[in-house]
Amino acid sequence: MYNTKLNQEASSDLLMDRDWIDGQPIYRQLRDRVVAMILDGVLNEGDPLPSVRNVAADYRVNPLTVLKGYQELVDEGLVESRRGLGMFVKPGARKLLLEAERRKFLSEEWPQVHARMQRLGLRPEELLEGTATRDPSANAKEKER
C-alpha cells in the first residue's frame, strides 16, 4: 500500500499555516500548498498526498473543497488518483512545476524586479554577492578605495 507515516508528516507540513487569504478560494490555496510541497521536496514522485478526510478535518473545511483543490492537481497532470488508495504525485510532476514556475517568474515577476533594481541602481552582481547596501553612496565610496 502506501506509507501512512509519510502521509501524516506531509499532512502536518501542509497544515503548518492554517490562515487563509481572503481574496483567493480555499481550494486554490490548498492546491498551491501541495505545489509548494512538491517543489520543496516534501512530497516526491510516487508519494501519497494527505488524505482528503484528514486535510478537511485538520483545516475544518468541507471535504469537497479539498477534493476540488486536488482535482486541479489531477487536471494539471501533477497528481493521479489510485482507486482505493488515494492521490499520488505523478512521475515528472516536479519537473513540470519547475518549468511552469520559471516561465511564470520570468514573464510576470522578473520584469517588476528588474524595473525596481533599475530604479534603485542595483547591479545583479551586488545581489548575487550579497553586498547591496541601503545607501548607494556607500557603494561609490568603496569603489573609490
Q: Say yes or no to pLDDT of 126 above 80.
A: yes
Mean predicted confidence (pLDDT) in 55-64: 93
**What angle, rounded to 10 degrees, do the helices at 26-39 and 4-14 form?**
120
DSSP string across 72-110: HHHHTTSEEEETTTEEEEPTTHHHHHHHHHHHHIIIIIH
**31 closest CA partner among 21, 102, 105:** 21
- Write down the pLDDT at residue 63: 96
Rounded to two decimals, the pTM is 0.69
Q: Which band of pLDDT confidence, cut at 50, 70 and 90, is reported for residue 131?
A: low
Coil vs helix vs strand at 86: strand
Q: Say yes or no to pLDDT of 8 above 90.
A: no
Q: Which domains does the chain have, with CATH numbers?
A: 4-91 (1.10.10.10), 94-144 (no CATH)
Taking residue 91's Cβ as centre, other Cβ atoms within 10 Å add up to: 11
